[in-house]
Structure 1
Amino acid sequence: MFKRTKSIIAMSVICATPTLYAQEAGRIQAGQFDLIPSFSSSMAYVDNVAYARDDDPKIYSWRATLSPELIAATEVDGNPVQVGYRLERGVYFSSDNDDYTDHFVEASGDFELNSRHRVNAVAQYEDGHEERGTGFSLGLGTAITTPDRYKSTYFGGEYMYGAATSDGLLTLKANRETLDYDRSEQAYLIRDRVKNKVGAELGYRIGSATTAVLDVTQTYVRYDNQTGIETRDSDETRVLLGVTWESTAATTGFAKVGYKEKDFESATRSTFYGTDWEVGVEWQPVSYSTFRFSTNADTRETNGEGNFIRGRDYTASWNHEWLNRLSSSVSITRETNEYVLNDEGIENRDDELMRYSASLNYQARRYLSFSLFYQLADRDSNRESIGYDRNVVGLSAEVTL
């Protein structure tokens, strides 16, 4: 099956560009471009397709996913540039209403103007979906008939000033994100939004392997349609101070903590003041085993009730290579989301989501790999209608040239 798919992808590329010829493993040269095709697929059993609440009837189904991808990479004056497209088709054998076809497009480039000036940029487009019972339909998965579809875009860039050997590095950042649901009901229209962010990060070396970092960002959140409700438009200010380090050859990490303010345009929505942080540590005691830990705290736009979500995430993972072709991955994530309300006398909604995942990965050939995986999602909330648990077990495969 997978060899046949690999051949179909290769033949379609050859037919589109007659002058192609093999360049190296995984790539086909087409003029100035290297074409990198791949194909991944999975077969999994899902015991709660629509994320039904704990006491509600659940939909059980096998799910097949097919995802071809093509990347075109080149260089402009020695600087890497690439454009990619990926399609993902999901089919539920016992729940046709949950079938989906998503499209992803990305373009990026890294440009080193000289030893002190560097620029990178990325543009992304997604025509995607939210599974029933996630996002805006959280707790209502069995009350809607199909997944919610949306279109989103991301445009971002960074300018970095400073030589690799200098003590200081200045990074200027800007990006724009948009979210637009396909549905025309008012409940969805008021979720469409744009986020524009600008910021700067200053790093200064304070030791042979330690750098102090000051990170300042300003975000402007604007909703397209707030008819009938007090607007959720807001301005966010975030200032973090911290360090990055590489204390030994086996340990690297960063830790930043600071201040966050979210100021709403509407006088009826209270301004938020709080503490944010970002921490990430990687420990590799031996070359074939890696442990990672990360945590962050930030504000998020609400997908339901409240003014916004106060989120805190914690993730721990372990990747281990048992044999030359056999490896495993395990991870645990804890997410806490507080939906902050203005209404006095009404308790804020508090959700806790635990995610567990494990996989056993086998590199059968240079161009063919398999993965046996298991995922568990368990959400609890002080709102009875929100809690659920969901198990997924399956086998995936990836084919490259």
Structure 2
Amino acid sequence: MLKWTRNIAVVSAICATVPMNVYAQEAGRIEVGQFDIIPILNSSISYVDNVAYARDDLPEIYSWRSIFSPELIAATELDGNPVQIGYRLERGVYFSSSADDYTDHFLEASGDFELNSRHRVNAIAQYEDGHEDRGTGFSLGLGNNIATPDRYKSTAIGADYSYGAVTSDGMITLKAGRQTLDYDRSEQAYLIRDRAKNRVGAELAYRVGSATNIVLDVTQSFIRYDNQLGITTRDSDETRVLVGLTWESTAATTGFAKVGYKEKDFKAETRNTFYGTDWEVGVEWQPVSYSTFRFTTSADTRETNGEGNFIRGRDYSASWNHEWLQRLSSSFTVSKLTDEYVLTDSVVANRDDELMRYSASLNYDARRWLSFSLFYQLDDRDSNRALIGYDRNVVGISAEVTL
């Protein structure tokens, strides 16, 4: 499935153009020549108590919101290697705040190619014509000051080449990718955020036990901004070196833990080079087949969406998924995301934001082709800047329909 939130295209319009010899190959799929067509339709209705993410001392917009999100995936094989192309549309409508309505488009193509027992290539390309809700991204803390959501276009292209047999002690993976971000608005404040990020790297994994690998991960990134007129450029080169382990100590526990060094070297001499410690950790524990606990944490640098040289991010998340009955399950997640907007070498001058996110859902599979979810999410953002903090609650019900 696509890496976006799973959904699909208008099925009735598609079926009207399908040849007469098309037939249902299996559950959820339609065979069209060499392709399997997989349609999915997601929709939801929810109540939002702070549509524009207004800060705590300002009036908030309350509204019901509907989301209609159809998706269509075309999957096939080339010489036994899986390839798929997908498109997803997402239309959001706020009943009491039409200014926040949006229509987003997503495209994705991916393929996994096993050239032989020692050579593998994975590739993916994504395109998004999307939006940032008022009060998020560049307009964080200023949601009531802009008329409509900010729109942007972004692309992501990446490929990995792996050398080494699955049964061998060592494996090396070479990685390359490119990401771009372009806001649709023409104001200078937005133009200076348009950028591209090119990435190259390598990962070496070596088996040191029956289910344990030691990993060395090296990545070099080159970040270039399209338009930096009137400001000191934020162009930079990043070097990241992580070392750690991946393991599957028992049938119930898997995980990875990597820690290392990060350097962010700005092209402008007036912006100080950053040196710090990065990490990536993820652990999954399944004490019984119907219950799974997950914990993840990471530290990295992010490009600023407003002030400062960059953002120093540290994220933590814990979740519990449980199947109560054959068709009934639940999910609970608690996340903490911290953003330090680094302005100078003096930590006192920096801006610190903290977002606590609590989410829960109760999921029911009514039929093989129909499922429902009752969900709730609370966002609580605090900052040492008075204009940033807000609370936001969303509660609703969603449905997913497949063939």
Same fold (TM over 0.5): yes
2:74 corresponding residue in structure 1:
72
Which of 320, 323, 336 is the equivalent residue of 1:321? 323
Mapping of residues 69-218 of structure 1, within 5 Å:
69-218=71-220
- Could you tell me how far apart the structure 1 residues matched to 2:54 and 2:348 are? 25
Matched, 1:224 2:226: yes
1:131-184 CA distance string (max 9 Å, x none): 000000000000001000000000000000000110001000000000000000
Tell me the CA shift for residue 18 of structure 1: 3.6
| Contact in 2 for aligned 1:14/1:20 (Cα 8 Å) | no
Instruction: Give the CA deviation at 1:324.
Output: 0.3
Q: Quickly say closer, same or farther: Cα 1:365–1:148, change in 2 above 3 A.
A: same
1:390/1:305 Cα in 2 relative to 1: closer, same or farther (>3 Å)? Answer: same
Q: Distance in 1 between matches of 2:169 and 2:316?
A: 32
Corresponding position: 1:282 with 2:284: yes
Q: Partners in 2 of 1:195 and 1:59 — Cα distance?
A: 36
Q: Conserved in 1, the CA contact under 8 Å of 2:328 and 2:362?
A: yes
Contact 2:9 2:89 in 1 (8 A): no
* Matches for 1:302-341 after TM superposition, within 5 Å: 302-341=304-343
Task: Name the amino acid aligned to 2:245.
Answer: V
Are the aligned partners of 2:103 and 2:130 in contact in 1 as well (CA < 8 Å)? yes
Aligned length, in residue pairs: 397
Partner in structure 1 of residue 4 of structure 2: none
CA distance in 1, matches of 2:9, 2:86: 19
Counterpart of 1:35, as a letter, is I
Is this contact kept in 1: 2:92–2:101, CA < 8 A? yes
Q: Which amino acid aligns with 1:363?
A: D
Shift of residue 16, structure 1, vs aligned partner: 3.8
Distance in 2 (alpha carbons) for counterparts of 1:48 and 1:302: 24
Give 5+ residue unaligned stretches, structure 1: none
> Shift of residue 17 of structure 1?
3.6
Summarize deviations over 1:287-315 as a string: whole Å, max 9, x none: 00000000000000000110000000000
SS where residue 188 of structure 1 aligns? helix
SS at match of 2:53: coil
1:257 to 256, 259, 263: 259
Deviation of 1:342 (Å) = 2.2
Tell me how far apart the structure 1 counterparts of residues 181 and 22 of structure 2 sit (CA, whole Å). Answer: 38
Partner of 2:364: 362
Shift of 1:347: 1.5
User: Structure 1 pair 224/291, CA: closer, same or farther in 2 (3 Å)?
Assistant: same
| Deviations, residues 91-129 of structure 1 (Å, cap 9, x unaligned) | 000000000000000000000000000001000000000
Distance 1:180 1:334, change over 3 A: same
Say if 2:394 is the partner of 1:392.
yes
Tell me the SS of whatever aligns to 1:70.
strand
Structure 1 Cα separation of the partners of residues 346 and 210 of structure 2: 52
TM-score by length of 2: 0.97
Query: 1:8, CA displacement in angstroms?
Result: 6.3
Tell me: CA distance 1:389–1:162, structure 2 relative to 1, closer, same or farther (3 Å). Answer: same
Whether the 8 Å CA contact 2:375–2:395 is kept in 1: the answer is yes
CA distance in 2, matches of 1:342, 1:7: 48
- Match for 2:244 among 242, 245, 258? 242
**How far apart, CA to CA, are the structure 1 residues paired with 2:280 and 2:8?**
41
SS at match of 1:142: helix
Q: Which runs of 5+ in 2 are unaligned?
A: 1-6
Q: How far apart, CA to CA, are the structure 2 residues paired with 1:342 and 1:77?
A: 54
Instruction: Say whether the 8 Å CA contact 2:53–2:391 is kept in structure 1.
Output: yes
The separation in 1 between residues aligned to 2:283 and 2:197, in whole angstroms, is 29
Aligned mates of 1:122, 1:319 — CA distance in 2:
29
Secondary structure of the corresponding residue to residue 331 of structure 2: strand
User: What residue number does 1:25 align with?
Assistant: 27
Q: Identity over aligned residues, as a percent?
A: 78
What letter corresponds to residue 192 of structure 2 in structure 1?
I
Q: Does 1:292 align with 2:294?
A: yes
Q: Deviations 1:189-236 (Å, cap 9, x if unpaired)?
A: 000000000000000000011000000000000000000000000000
Q: CA deviation at 1:15?
A: 2.0
Q: For 1:7 and 1:176, how far apart are their aligned partners in 2?
A: 27
Q: Which shows bigger deviation, 253-262 or 342-351?
A: 342-351
The 1:345–1:72 alpha-carbon spacing in structure 2 relative to 1, beyond 3 Å, is closer
**Residues 107 and 128 in structure 2, CA contact (< 8 A), matched pair in contact too:** yes
Q: Distance in 2 between matches of 1:96 and 1:216?
A: 46
The alignment yields a C-alpha RMSD, in angstroms, of: 1.4
Distance apart, 1:343 and its partner CA: 7.7
Runs of 4+ in 1 over 6 A off after TM superposition: 5-8
Kept in 2, the 8 Å contact 1:152–1:179? The answer is yes
- Look up the equivalent residue of 1:222 and give its one-letter code: R
| Corresponding position of 2:3 | none
